[in-house]
Every structure is written in structure tokens, then in C-alpha cells.
Structure 1
């Protein structure tokens, strides 16, 4: 999943410091990635 986020979403570095904050930041990025994938699937199914 990280490769897709790096390549398709241009997420190259974390903007926060500290392991706990990085975990939260990546969790948010992963949620957004999943929501965008689901939205694209829904868009394709409605055509």
C-alpha cells in the first residue's frame, strides 16, 4: 500500500516528528487512500 500512496498520491515524507505522530499521520493518509479507491470503484459501477 505504501508504494501506491507514494506513487499515486505523491506522499513522499512525513510532516510531523515522533513515532506516535507519524503513526497517526500515516493512518490518516491510509484512510484517505482507501476512501478515494472506494469512491473510484463506486464511480465506475454507476456508469
Structure 2
């Protein structure tokens, strides 16, 4: 997988996600998947909000 650095910076800086709560590679993978999912949902919600302002 290839991620952009800006997404990591945004998650780290704006969402205050600095460390994992769980141990083990599988659990860390799931935890970051949830964080990434939340990041993408908030991104889509922001875009939808911007598009609805014009109406």
C-alpha cells in the first residue's frame, strides 16, 4: 500500500493520534484501519458540506 505523507500528518497533528493502544501487528493493522476509515469519512463529510453551501 502507498499512502501520502499528508494523510499521516493530518491524522497525527489534527486528530491527535500519536500511539497505538493495542499490541501485535494484526491488532495495530485493525486499529489504524479504523483511524484511516474515520479520517476518510470526515473528509467526505467535509466535501459534502462544502458542496451543500452553494445550494
TM-score when normalising by structure 1? 0.94
For 1:29, the equivalent position in structure 2 comes to: 35
Query: Equivalent residue for 2:24?
Result: 18
Please identify the structure whose Cα radius of gyration is greater: 2
Q: Which 5+ residue runs of structure 2 have no aligned equivalent?
A: 1-6
User: Higher relative contact order by CA 8 Å / sep ≥ 6: 1 or 2?
Assistant: 1
Aligned-pair CA distance for 1:8: 1.1
Task: Give the CA RMSD over aligned residues.
Answer: 0.6
Which of 27, 36, 41 is the matching residue for 2:47? Answer: 41
- Say which structure is richer in helix: 1
Task: Report the Cα distance in structure 2 between the residues aligned to 1:38 and 1:44, rounded to whole angstroms.
Answer: 10
Q: How far is 1:15 from its partner?
A: 0.4
- Name the TM-score, length of structure 2 as normaliser: 0.81
